[in-house]
Amino acid sequence: MNQSGLLKYLLGRMARLILVVFGVTLLVFFLLRTVPGDPIRARYGIDTALSAEDYSALRKEYGLDKPVPIQYINWLQHVVQGDMGESILQRRDVAPLLWKSGKITLQVQTTSFVLALVFGIAAGCLAAVKAGTLVDRALSTIALAGVATPSYFLGILLILLFAVKLDWLPVTGWRPLIPDVKEGLRHLALPAITGALAGPLAVLLRYSRASLLEVLEQDYVRTARSKGLSTMVVTLRHAMPNASVLILSVAGLMFANILAGSVIIERLFSIPGMGRLVTEAVIQHDYPLVQGAVLVIAVVVVFVNTMVDLLYMVVDPRIRR
Amino acid sequence: MTSTSSLFESGIEAVHYRSALRQLRRAGRACLNPAALFVIVVVIGATFSGWLSGHGPNDQNLQARFAPPSREYFLGTDALGRDTFARILYGARISLATAISAALLSTFLGAILGLLAGYLGGVIDSVVSYVSDVVMAFPAIIFALFILSVFGSDMKNVIIALAVYGVPGAFRVVRGQVLVIREVEYVKASVSVGASPLRTAVRHVLPNSIAPLTVAVPLAMSGAVLAEAGLSFLGLGVRPPTPTWGGMLADGYAFIYDHPRLPIIPGIAVFLLVLSLNAIGDQVRAALSHRRS
């Protein structure tokens, strides 16, 4: 692919990215307004005597008196200017609320993702190199079990072992990494390990094993071996680059998966992250907060998928043509 | 249409359907193993739960709260003295019913949309692919949460939420397959002898897209079991007191210090069912790829 072709491709990807995010916000906006219930009533409670004038004044304050399409355009205009509005229930700006909880979710999920990536790919490669041996069979069995273990079950098992029986780690709760790094890591450990082990790590293990195994059977690898290169060099220098295309695509999918899993992990470990924030916001009809959160999540998911597509081209020069 | 062309065509068809049938038979043979047996046991347990358990799932025996496993209570009782074994059996009904309905519904809708989009292409393809991208960019649980808060939490709506979310996955599989099959000679032959697009799509393209779907159905079911239990764990699924495995996990989590059995038993149930369904999916896949090579 020449320079202008590449540019055109990138622009096309960007346009698609923006279109999908736009579609997601549109869907959320209209879905929210079909949900029976009303954020103003949710805020003041149904029993509280809220006079009809006060009620309509509040609706007007949040722009809820206008037709839904106009509300959407207003919201879009503000978002483009970096203003996501004010949470109706928490009466605070949406952006800092999301930033505060998003940071926590990002710490947990990134740690999970890195753990899954490193150990999943390493174990997958080990299983492929030792294909057919006891090591391979043990790892493949663990992977099969890992894919089938839901995070809410694995988390409970880990809590039982490390927090209840051994008393090494706290059961639930959250401490920031700064200033107390040690306490922070102790609180991060179980949720991050649960997020990695329940699914993503096992899926990455299976895919890396399968794709590396396929590559290892090819002629050029046999040639490399016959030159007398060590298994290590053959695997890492010759086979891995070709196996990494599939692994990469699965890794991108896993990131989105881990993000969706944060809702359960945060409930299980009582972590004040974005998954919990958005669940509560949907239940309480907090329109601006849900809209903001879903926008952020959709941007992250679509962005990661686009990055994965672009990374393909770096990893596999054939796709560039 | 002349008699030769219809003869020609029916000859091709027979091969297709026969090969599709052969694939299914092979897949069926691959299912005779522990995984399939476990699924059969769960189905029997769910069907005859009243007869097998001896206790109602919501019968409380406050004299026997947190009773350990015994002859009376095979898996012990929970905080309200309800029989865990009975609740597991009744919970299996919810898990199986949502899994089967959601998986079949999403696969069916996904297949139709995939066939349409892949075969017709153009604007229809662009629109359906775009909508499927949008749904996929939505976090699964939040999507389900929306649907459940719009229509209320009952089993029908849990099924709808999981099915709608599963459609894009099935859609992509079928669309990809259709794009390949569309270019194969026998399809071109069918078009060239004057068969209508509908006839070509239904009689030639569809039967040949069945293979990847037979792998997709058990996997969609295991995904639905996980998702349903996850929703119930969060308190968003089928409402209590109806027993669900996810709900039992969440209830039992509160007693993790003194009665770890309570969350572990339903957890094992989810784990084994998902493991079995995944194993069946893997075996079907292996049987099909064996056929291809």
Alpha carbons within 13 angstroms on the beta-carbon side of residue A297 total 36
Contact between A35 and B279 using a beta-carbon 8 Å cutoff: no
Which 3 state secondary structure label does DSSP give B83?
A: strand
CB-nearest partner of A148 from B234, B249, B274: B274
DSSP state letters, A77-98:
HHHHTT---B-TTT-SBHHHHH
Which 3 state secondary structure label does DSSP give B77?
A: strand
* Residue B211 Cα, gap to closest chain A Cα (Å): 21
- CB of B293 within 8 Å of a chain A CB? The answer is no
Segment B260-270 shows an average pLDDT of 91
Give A 245-264 residues with CB within 8 A of chain B: 256, 259-260, 263-264
Q: For residue A16, which residues of chain B lie inside 8 Å, CB to CB?
A: 133
Q: For residue A279, which residues of chain B lie inside 8 Å, CB to CB?
A: 141-142, 145, 234
pLDDT score recorded for residue B14: 44
The pair of three-digit structure tokens given for residue B136, joined into one six-digit string? 């996929």
pLDDT tens string B175-203 = 888 888 877 888 888 888 888 878 887 78
Q: Which of B282, B276, B278, B250 lies closest to B263, judged by CA?
A: B250
Using the predicted structure, report yes or no on whether residue A184 has a pLDDT greater than 60: yes
CB-nearest partner of A152 from B138, B230, B257: B230
* Residue B235 Cα, gap to closest chain A Cα (Å): 11
- CB of B64 within 8 Å of a chain A CB? The answer is no
Is the backbone of residue B131 left (phi > 0), alpha (psi -120 to 50) or beta?
alpha
* CA dist., res. A319 & res. A312, Å (int): 7
Segment A273-284 shows an average pLDDT of 83
Does ipTM surpass 0.90 in this model?
no
The pair of three-digit structure tokens given for residue A178, joined into one six-digit string? 């700064």
Interface test with A, best of B95, B133, B221 (most A CBs within 10 A): B133
CB-nearest partner of A27 from B134, B229, B263: B134
Q: Which of B156, B139, B36 lies closest to A259, judged by CA?
A: B139
- CB of A319 within 8 Å of a chain B CB? The answer is no
Q: For residue B162, which residues of chain A lie inside 8 Å, CB to CB?
A: none
* CA dist., res. B133 & res. B121, Å (int): 16
* A165 → chain B, closest CA residue: B257
CATH 2.40.50.140 fits B2-55+77-292, yes or no: no
Map out the domains of chain B as residue ranges: 2-55+77-292
In the 8-state DSSP scheme, what is residue B63?
A: G
Q: For residue B146, which residues of chain A lie inside 8 Å, CB to CB?
A: 28, 31-32, 35, 282
* CA dist., res. A279 & res. A256, Å (int): 17
* B234 → chain A, closest CA residue: A264
Alpha carbons within 13 angstroms on the beta-carbon side of residue B220 total 30
Confidence band, pLDDT 50/70/90 cuts, at residue A2: low
Confidence band, pLDDT 50/70/90 cuts, at residue B9: very low
Segment B49-76 shows an average pLDDT of 80
Q: Which of A102-106, B68-72, B242-246 has the lowest mean pLDDT?
A: B68-72
* CA dist., res. B214 & res. B33, Å (int): 17
Considering chain A, tell me which residue range(s) the CATH 1.10.3720.10 domain(s) occupy. 97-281
CATH 1.10.3720.10 fits A97-281, yes or no: yes
pLDDT tens string A47-74 = 566 677 777 777 777 777 778 888 888 8
- CB of A110 within 8 Å of a chain B CB? The answer is no
Q: For residue A19, which residues of chain B lie inside 8 Å, CB to CB?
A: 130
Give B 141-200 residues with CB within 8 A of chain A: 141-142, 145-146, 149-150
